[in-house]
Amino acid sequence: MGRKAEYSEKVKKGPGRKARKQGAPTFPKKSFAPMEEEQKTLSHRQKQRLAKREKTKKLIKEKQKLSKEKKLQSRKQKEYNSDSEEEEQEQQILNGNDNAEETDESEEEQTVHPKGSKKNGKGAKGFTDENQEWLKPKQAKGNKKQKIVEEEEDEDDDDPEDSDDDEEESGDNDDEVEESEDDDEKVEESDDEGIEGDESEDEQHVKLGKLDDLSDDDEEENSDDDFDVSDNENNEEEDDSDDNEMDDDDEDLLPIEKANKKLKKREAKEAKLAAEEMQMSVDQQEIFQFPEEDEEKEITLQEVQQRIKDVTLVLSDFNKYRHPDRPRSDYMDLLRKDLCMYYSYNDFLMGKLMDMFPLSELMEYLEASEVARPLTIRTNTLKTRRRDLAAALINRGVNLDPLGKWTKVGLVIYSSQVPLGATPEYLAGHYMIQGASSMLPVMALAPQENERILDMCSAPGGKGSHIAAVMKNTGVLFANDANKDRIKAVVANFHRLGVVNSIVSCEDGAKFRQIMTGFDRILLDAPCTGTGVVSKDPSVKTTKCAVDVQRCYNLQRKLLLTAIDCTDAKSSSGGYIVYSTCSVLPEENEWVIDYVLKKRNVKLVPTGLDFGVEGFTKYRQYRFHPSLNLTRRYYPHTHNMDGFFVAKLKKFSNTIPVSKEQQEEDEKQLDDGIATANEDNVTLLNADDQENEDGKNKKSGKRAGKPVLSDYDLAAKKQKLEQSKTKYIAKVFEPPVKVPKKKNESPVQEQQKKDGKGKDNSTEAISTEKGKLKSVEKVLVGDKQKPSEKQLKNKNQTENKQQHQEKQKLPNEKKVLAEKNKQQKSGKKQPVETPKEKNQQSGKPSEQKPQNKKKLKKDQTTNGHFLASQNKNSTSKDIDHDSSSLLEGKPIKQNKLKQKSKQMGKLKKN
């Protein structure tokens, strides 16, 4: 229905711009005329140059003519003279001639008489004082050349225009181009000249012509040569000899090549001189002077740094640079003092480091320890894959990379736009923020699925959760730590990361053999001085002392002996113990291993880690078992990770090679070692404690930085004195049960209560009668059994009510207690009370018990938190039983729960 196109009617448009025909080309008439015929228009300068060239040509031709004439004359003379006069006449000719012409003559003679007997006769004559001039042909040639140049220069000087032009040349680029064109022309011309020139003349003439032409064109080069000569006025003699040598060798070289060669020679000479001078100055350098006392007071950090360098230089070649009256120890002492000042270390630790590292490596170590290590995270393979995690984090603006080929779960974070501890991925438990070195012990442990593994010092659970991930949540992981505050972090982390195969306990690791044995593998990531993590916690540099180290290695030995005793040598899959520390001191590493090698049936096996420095087999005067080279050390300056030590032991027999008495003695010794330090009120560093222990500085006056205390260590001593003690059971998602304030509560706990922080919803206190009860907290963490929020709210409400009721009843209890005390004082016999009776007397609500029961049941059924507290006298079998029932997924025995509820009743009463 549309309009029909009628192309036939369309008027054709004119040709487009492209289609338009171009007109026939028009050329200037002369353009096709032969080029030769065209008159070349030369620039002013070109004309000048041409004139110059022609002048020189004429000069050369004239000279050639002259020389020819002379030749003819000499020939005629020779013909008339007798053979005896020949020499004299030759001498006359030579003497009478200009130096510049000598060479030409001799050369011409060569050309005229190539096989002439005269020449041969001359050659046979040899060198005498009379003919010494004759033996300097090259000089003569040089003189000749120089003469020509001088003449030309004179000419140039005469012509003021020329000189102006030359100046212009140097500044004008266009002229330079022209010049180069001219040069080409000149080369051609000179070639032509050679051809034009007398063909009967020998090649050298042709060459001379060429060189002269070049020198004509390359005025600058020639002048450079001249400068060379003038530059070397001081070394004239040497240069002369050099020139002679050069001329002998390099007759065929162009002047520019000769100049280049000369320059190179001179450069080499200068370099040699400079090296000699340098050596002289080093040799004559002032011997390092020890500082005066006054100087010391006003010394700046830069001066200290310089002195460190100076002393290091002296120590690098002591015999050469030492002061004759000063022993090496003086230098070492000064260096240590300066290093302490410069890097802010205490004398003890710097001394230890100086004992360990050679000087150059020490400097590297100290420098590296000043810089923070890269932030790294470990993918939680229970929840995600590294690839997915990386993609998710990249989407959030995190700049990251795989950590290295040695790990499949590590990522290194270069920068991040979001705090890494608060990303949705972190909260969902997709990763753990963990140092690269912390992944190594678990890799060495190589956990297997369905094994029974103990992480003896577990808090805050970084390595523990890694173990669980490798086990794929199968088998059982016992995560223990002696620090009751830190154990909460383990529970929290395990929840976040979805670890469900774990039992968390709060026990002294050194006593674990009385609790449970027969593990397939044990990781002992021991408490240490933390000398490897100085960049994380700089306070280590100033706070660690000899007692700290002593206390640490005693505790480490004790823990490691226990770990070995708890391992089953007959385990079908394992029987391995991995020992690790974040300290670089041999006392806490090789020494500890060497000690247990003597005390138990274990041997060192390769860690399976394909990088790291071998452990020491020698350290100062000490010699360790040679197999200690199987252990691995990691340093900030070599591996860009925290200082770390990893050793893997294999238990080959369950029998203990030392007698019982010896064992007891060993234990006593170790305890004494720890106690001595305790008496000194020395603290122990747990490298990962930094975040949690702020403000808990119990080592008054000794620690400048963040204090990190092992609660267990301090509590162990107090425990003996205390009548009763408060124990905490970590109950995640449980509201707190308020406990009346105890006398022996720590100030921190009091403060926490005041602040309301102490009412941690994961904590419940159980006090035990006469302080005899020891708690064993086992928390089987199960995400699947989390209670809903509603349930939690309801619980909170009912428990708050109960607490309120209890508060009201407390005054009554106090009254009853006061009456009892009175009775005791008055000497009345007090019947032994059962807990039941006590409860009845104190008027404690009877509902409390069943409620506790209920709660515990709930723990088993809903929350999946199994709690057990154990009397100190109860055997490890009991605990074994409990834990084994947990392993099998059975609830804890009812009578145990009853016991616990009774204890809780007691607690309330007290």
Residue with tokens 């192309």: 7
Return the residue of 483, 505, 531, 749 that touches ligand SAM, per CB under 6 A.
483
- Choice between 509 and 864, CB closer to ligand SAM: 509
Q: 3-state SS of the chain: helix, strand, coil percent to 5?
A: 55, 10, 35
Q: Could you tell me how many residues of this chain bind ligand SAM (CB under 6 A)?
A: 23
Please state the closest distance from residue 304 (CB atom) to ligand SAM, in A.
Answer: 34
Return the residue of 389, 390, 503, 510 that touches ligand SAM, per CB under 6 A.
510
- Choice between 445 and 457, CB closer to ligand SAM: 457
CA–CA dist 672, 320 (Å, integer) = 49
Residue 479 in contact with residue 455, Cβ under 8 Å? Answer: yes
Confirm or reject binding of residue 767 to ligand SAM (CB under 6 A).
no
- Choice between 215 and 434, CB closer to ligand SAM: 434
Concatenating the DSSP letter of every residue in 157-193 gives HH-HHHHHHHHHHHH-HHHHHHHHHHHHHHHHHHHHH
Q: Count Cα neighbours of 872 within 13 Å in the Cβ-side half-sphere.
A: 14
Please state the closest distance from residue 703 (CB atom) to ligand SAM, in A.
Answer: 16
Return the residue of 369, 501, 589, 710 that touches ligand SAM, per CB under 6 A.
710
Residue 261 in contact with residue 250, Cβ under 8 Å? Answer: yes
- Choice between 378 and 902, CB closer to ligand SAM: 378
Please state the closest distance from residue 505 (CB atom) to ligand SAM, in A.
Answer: 10
- Choice between 506 and 604, CB closer to ligand SAM: 506
Please state the closest distance from residue 413 (CB atom) to ligand SAM, in A.
Answer: 19
Residue 761 in contact with residue 733, Cβ under 8 Å? Answer: yes
Please state the closest distance from residue 513 (CB atom) to ligand SAM, in A.
Answer: 12
Confirm or reject binding of residue 508 to ligand SAM (CB under 6 A).
yes
Region near ligand SAM per CB under 6 A, out of 131-139, 180-188, 315-323, 477-485: 477-485
The residues that bridge with 455 in the sheet, in sequence order, are 479, 523
- Choice between 74 and 581, CB closer to ligand SAM: 581
Return the residue of 57, 144, 205, 486 that touches ligand SAM, per CB under 6 A.
486
Residue 441 in contact with residue 578, Cβ under 8 Å? Answer: yes
- Choice between 686 and 726, CB closer to ligand SAM: 686
Please confirm whether the linkage preceding 891 is cis (ω < 30° from 0).
no
Please state the closest distance from residue 763 (CB atom) to ligand SAM, in A.
Answer: 17
Return the residue of 214, 390, 482, 549 that touches ligand SAM, per CB under 6 A.
482
- Choice between 710 and 768, CB closer to ligand SAM: 710
Region near ligand SAM per CB under 6 A, out of 78-86, 129-137, 276-284, 503-511: 503-511
Task: Please say if 545 is a catalytic residue.
Answer: no
Q: What are phi and psi of 12, to 5 degrees?
A: -65, 135
CA–CA dist 217, 181 (Å, integer) = 11
CA–CA dist 209, 319 (Å, integer) = 64
Confirm or reject binding of residue 643 to ligand SAM (CB under 6 A).
no
The residues that bridge with 845 in the sheet, in sequence order, are none
Amino acid code (one letter) for 698 = K
Angle at 630 between CA 659 and CA 482, to 5 degrees: 60
Interface characters, 393-412, with ligand SAM (x: CB under 6 A): --------------------
Please state the closest distance from residue 640 (CB atom) to ligand SAM, in A.
Answer: 20
Region near ligand SAM per CB under 6 A, out of 74-82, 92-100, 479-487, 531-539: 479-487
Between strands 602-605 and 644-651, the pairing is antiparallel
Residue 273 in contact with residue 307, Cβ under 8 Å? Answer: no
Residue (of 374, 404, 407, 380) closest to 392 by Cα position = 380
Confirm or reject binding of residue 525 to ligand SAM (CB under 6 A).
yes
Please state the closest distance from residue 812 (CB atom) to ligand SAM, in A.
Answer: 41
Amino acid code (one letter) for 61 = K
CA–CA dist 521, 526 (Å, integer) = 15
Interface characters, 435-464, with ligand SAM (x: CB under 6 A): ---x-----------------xxxxxxxx-
Region near ligand SAM per CB under 6 A, out of 35-43, 210-218, 683-691, 772-780: 683-691
Site for ligand SAM in 350-379 (CB under 6 A): none
Residue 668, SS3 per DSSP: helix
Between strands 868-871 and 521-525, the pairing is unpaired
Confirm or reject binding of residue 735 to ligand SAM (CB under 6 A).
no
Residue (of 440, 430, 428, 441) closest to 377 by Cα position = 430
Region near ligand SAM per CB under 6 A, out of 84-92, 504-512, 807-815, 854-862: 504-512
Count CB-CB contacts under 10 A for residue 616. Answer: 20
- Choice between 425 and 481, CB closer to ligand SAM: 481
CA–CA dist 589, 401 (Å, integer) = 32
CA distances from 54 to 104, 156, 205, 215, 626 (A): 22, 14, 18, 14, 91
Report DSSP state, residue 761: T
Confirm or reject binding of residue 678 to ligand SAM (CB under 6 A).
no
Return the residue of 90, 225, 451, 481 that touches ligand SAM, per CB under 6 A.
481
- Integer-rounded Cα Rg, in Å, for the chain is 50
Return the residue of 712, 732, 852, 896 that touches ligand SAM, per CB under 6 A.
712
- Choice between 222 and 581, CB closer to ligand SAM: 581
Region near ligand SAM per CB under 6 A, out of 597-605, 681-689, 763-771, 816-824: 681-689
Confirm or reject binding of residue 209 to ligand SAM (CB under 6 A).
no
Q: Which two tokens stand for residue 229?
A: 């000569």
Please state the closest distance from residue 686 (CB atom) to ligand SAM, in A.
Answer: 4
**Alpha carbon distance, N-terminus to C-terminus of the chain:** 105
Residue (of 384, 680, 391) closest to 550 by Cα position = 680
Binding residues for S-adenosyl-L-methionine are 457-463, 481, 508, 525
- Choice between 389 and 490, CB closer to ligand SAM: 490
CA–CA dist 861, 505 (Å, integer) = 20
CA–CA dist 299, 83 (Å, integer) = 92
The 3-state secondary structure of 400-453, one letter per residue: EEECCCCCCCEEEEEEECCCCCCCHHHHCCCEEECCHHHHHHHHHHCCCCCCEE
Return the residue of 447, 527, 673, 736 that touches ligand SAM, per CB under 6 A.
527
Residue 837 in contact with residue 871, Cβ under 8 Å? Answer: no
Return the residue of 222, 502, 567, 686 that touches ligand SAM, per CB under 6 A.
686
Strands (E), 347-404: 375-379, 398-402
Binding residues are 457-463, 481, 508, 525
| Strands of the 398-402 sheet, one edge to the other | 398-402, 410-416, 375-379, 431-433
Please state the closest distance from residue 724 (CB atom) to ligand SAM, in A.
Answer: 22
Region near ligand SAM per CB under 6 A, out of 65-73, 293-301, 508-516, 767-775: 508-516
Please state the closest distance from residue 425 (CB atom) to ligand SAM, in A.
Answer: 20
Length of the chain: 910
- Choice between 53 and 696, CB closer to ligand SAM: 696
CA–CA dist 134, 128 (Å, integer) = 10
Please state the closest distance from residue 460 (CB atom) to ligand SAM, in A.
Answer: 5
Region near ligand SAM per CB under 6 A, out of 47-55, 649-657, 680-688, 848-856: 680-688
Confirm or reject binding of residue 687 to ligand SAM (CB under 6 A).
yes
The residues that bridge with 432 in the sheet, in sequence order, are 378
Active site residues: 582
* Binding-site ranges for ligand SAM (CB under 6 A): 438, 456-463, 481-483, 486, 508-510, 525, 527, 686-688, 710, 712
